[in-house]
Amino acid sequence: MHYLEKRWRLRHQRTIVLHAGLPKTGTTYIQNELFALRKVLRQDHQVLMPSISPNLTDALCSMFHDDPMLHITNKIQGKSNEDLRDQIGAYFANIEGELDRHEWNMLILSAEGVYNLGESEMRRLQVWGRQFGLRWKIVFGVRNGPDWVRSVIQEMVKGGDTLNRLYDDLPIPLYRERIGTAIKLFGRSSVTVYSYEDAAAYPQGILSHFLSVLGLQIPVGEQQGSQQQNKCMSHEALTLLSRINAMRPLLTAGSILPARRNGREALNLLGVRGRPFRLPPGIRRRVIAAVAEQEQWLEDNFGISYQYPATCRVSYGSSGSKSRGDGAKMARKGGSAVRAALPSSQGGYAESHGAALELSSEALDDLAVLICDLVNGRPR
């Protein structure tokens, strides 16, 4: 068959799946598991996943952003314009080389960060992809507002933010805006939305649920509970990390502060046991009010409904959320030094799930500084 004729036929047969998140809906687990299975998926099922990375956020956002220098990873790394151009060229060459080299019927591009791309940027991604396949399937995972915000706040504090700032300026899942852009560009029939709660409750596991959303019945031998890769910090640990971030910001003028050069405070604090992190009742009520219109849009367009008792005091464990302080069991290198710095007057709080970190503001600040010094190699 003539090359151009074959390429035309393949373009009409192939499906490009854009797994666009949202974050905190099991995306990291799905990405990593699919990436580990990519050879089997390609050879046995003609499902291709690019080998650059499980998460293609940095690649796709750099490739199609109006100003790639504004993509957060590129800002932190401080790349020059020339280096960034070379990197983007390598992204295109690597991905397109694999698309031309392998036989495939479905391409999976998993990159939750693309939900931040604007309409013109998403259109460039669409135009590029149409060289290889004309069928698109845009997949979003969503999660009830309070659990999503709680989980995102944890990740943002791990990344250097503070609880006070985040409570003042709550991160909200803008379902209508983010999913709406995909509907406008690709059409409603090309957009699929599933709930994280349904995926977490799926009998065969969250990865099998995702594959079923794609119309793939592929046995993956998934173990229940294996999706818990993003370990949750206890309330006590997150409070300490927030104070560290407030006193010694992780980033200053886009560069990592020397006093935080190891950046391992979050890893070490995972070993600190305590209560599961929960939103304060007042913050939770604000979240429910803030997401009401967004969740109504979800129900109207995709039949996904979230209901909350009038008291707004729903148990986190009842909504599919998996935050139970499991991160406390994952003591990291240096964790013993961190635990040794914790006040013994707390009645063994570092080993007790129920104890609270009730310290004065000054004592909490002193403890935060001490932990930061221990982690970064300057014991006091």
Under a CB-based contact definition with an 8 Å cutoff, are residues 107 and 132 in contact?
A: yes
Q: Is the pLDDT of residue 371 over 70?
A: no
Over residues 14-24, the pLDDT tens digits come to 999 999 989 99
Residue 241 has φ and ψ, to the nearest 5°, of -65, -40
Over residues 168-204, the pLDDT tens digits come to 999 999 999 999 999 999 999 999 999 999 999 999 9
Q: What integer pLDDT is reported at residue 179 of this predicted model? A: 96
Q: What integer pLDDT is reported at residue 84 of this predicted model? A: 94
**What average pLDDT does range 88-98 have in this prediction?**
97
Which among 211, 258, 230, 68 is positioned nearest to 155, based on CA atoms?
230
Over residues 208-244, the pLDDT tens digits come to 999 999 999 888 875 444 455 556 788 888 888 898 8
- Residues in a beta bridge with 193: 140
Q: Is the pLDDT of residue 97 over 90?
A: yes
Name the more confident of 364 and 165: 165
Which CATH architecture group holds 3-213? 3-Layer(aba) Sandwich (3.40)
Q: What integer pLDDT is reported at residue 314 of this predicted model? A: 40
Give CA–CA dist 114/65, Å, rounded: 9
Q: Is the pLDDT of residue 76 over 50?
A: yes
Over residues 344-369, the pLDDT tens digits come to 333 333 333 334 455 556 555 556 66
Q: What integer pLDDT is reported at residue 244 of this predicted model? A: 84
CA 312 to chain centre: 26
Averaged confidence pLDDT in the chain: 81
Name the more confident of 43 and 77: 43
Over residues 242-291, the pLDDT tens digits come to 988 888 777 666 566 665 555 667 777 777 778 889 999 999 999 999 99
Domain ranges of the chain: 3-213, 235-375
Q: What integer pLDDT is reported at residue 296 of this predicted model? A: 97
Over residues 115-163, the pLDDT tens digits come to 889 999 999 999 999 999 999 999 999 999 999 999 999 999 988 899 9
Q: What integer pLDDT is reported at residue 348 of this predicted model? A: 33
% pLDDT > 70, the chain: 72
Give CA–CA dist 135/72, Å, rounded: 30
Q: Is the pLDDT of residue 43 over 80?
A: yes
pTM flag (> 0.85):
no
Name the more confident of 28 and 263: 28
Q: What integer pLDDT is reported at residue 60 of this predicted model? A: 98
